[in-house]
Amino acid sequence: MFIRSTERLVRPEHMNAAGALFGGVMLAWIDEAAAIAARQLFHTPRFATVAIKGGVEFRHPVYLGDLVLLRSTLIKVGRTSIAFRVEAEVFDSPNKTPVCVVHEIVFVLKDQQGKPFPHGFSPSLVTQTP
């Protein structure tokens, strides 16, 4: 399994008017966390987010001062694309279920001209540790 984790601290500028983490900030963190995982797999920054599939679930509110753990798990390997599931959890929360889940975020590797480029990974990478 290829899994990578990153953390973010909830600061005042991340809050919405209701006193919880703004959902758009969480989505940006999730996109970045998965992009970091893709960067570590591709060994190049020449890739793009192309789709979020299967929806986004905001299951629990996140509050000021919370430490958010973002875990990206490789779930699909195509010819030029890869996809991650990303789960966000709050560190030390008594609630052990994810606060937010993106079921599938898809990245495409690109060549110098910006066209999709075969990455050469096998679908078996989903179950292997590279």
Note whether 86 binds ligand COA by CB under 6 A. no
Residues 32-71 that bind ligand COA (CB under 6 A): 48-51, 53
Phi, psi of 32 (to 5 degrees): -70, -40
Separation between Cα atoms, residue 38 and residue 48, nearest integer Å = 10
The four Cα atoms 31, 45, 9, 105 give a dihedral, to 10 degrees, of: 20
Note whether 3 binds ligand COA by CB under 6 A. no
Joined tokens for residue 124: 């078996």
Note whether 78 binds ligand COA by CB under 6 A. yes
Between 86 and 99, CB nearer to ligand COA: 86
Least spacing, CB of residue 62 vs ligand COA, in Å: 24
Helix intervals (H) in 5-110: 23-42
Which residues of this protein are in contact with ligand COA, per CB under 6 A? 48-51, 53, 78-81, 106, 108, 110, 114, 116
